[in-house]
Amino acid sequence: MKKIISILFLFLLCYACYYIYNITEDNNLYMVAIGDEIAANPFLKDNKMNTDFINKDYHINDLLNIIKYNQEITKNNKEISIHQQLKKADVLIISIGMNDIYYKLDDDPKEMYSYLNDILNNYEKILNEINKYDYKNVYILNYYNTTNKYNDLFVYTNYKLNKLANKYHYTYIDIAKILNNKQEYYQKNNDFNLNNNGYRQIFEFLVENLKKTWYNIKCVYYYDLY
């Protein structure tokens, strides 16, 4: 029985992956993810998903300065700038701010709201910068809560972030809906870093959103994740 369930599960996952492949292969779309490692989803492992400007330690000011000053990295003996990647991108995925929030989460709640507003103001500066380029779609991942408290802070921040996404006509992805307070999706307790189960949940959630925009998408590079 377990074997049958496992085979069925893999079939369903591969069916979901089918959509990702076709979006990049048949339609020749170039996908870029920027920000913290939440955006570097291993299940989006297509060779057109660029993750050059992702770092697990990025704070929101780091990403803002990288974009503002057009930071370059060396890859395969070539200089690549973030502006080049943003200009080339058809689909852009952004996740940034989790490090900022969890760094201050235990501070005075009254001060936290002012701090969160600063984060959101800087997020808007990032959106102003990336808005200079033309994309088929931009996906903004929201913030999820790994604790049994602070719900008001996360609801407030995500509400504001959703408004920002709508202002720029970007797609707001509510990953908190599936990740909040579910320890089975994290590498360890009280840590927002995801395990493979958590990344899989986000992947499937993204696939559903991608399907709303593109209807013929295929699966690649999936089995090597197991």
Q: pLDDT tens-digit profile of 183-200?
A: 899 998 778 899 999 999
Could you give the angle at the alpha carbon of 197 between the alpha carbons of 192 and 203, nearest 5°? Answer: 90
Length of the chain: 226
Query: Are the C-beta atoms of residues 85 and 51 closer than 8 Å to each other?
Result: no
Range of the domain at 129: 2-225
The two three-digit tokens of residue 196, written as one number: 């493979």
CATH number at residue 197: 3.40.50.1110
pLDDT of residue 27: 54
State pLDDT tens for residues 86-125. 999 999 999 999 999 999 988 887 789 999 999 999 999 9
Place of tokens 């992947």: 203
Query: Per-residue pLDDT averaged across 144-163, rounded?
Result: 94
Nearest-angstrom CA–CA distance, 151 and 157: 10
Instruction: Write the CB contacts of 61 (distance below 8 Å, at least 6 apart in sequence).
Output: 122
Domain count, the chain: 1
As a whole number of angstroms, the distance between CA 213 and CA 140 comes to 15
Query: Which pTM value belongs to this model?
Result: 0.81
> What is the rounded distance in angstroms from the CA atom of residue 109 to the CA atom of residue 105?
8
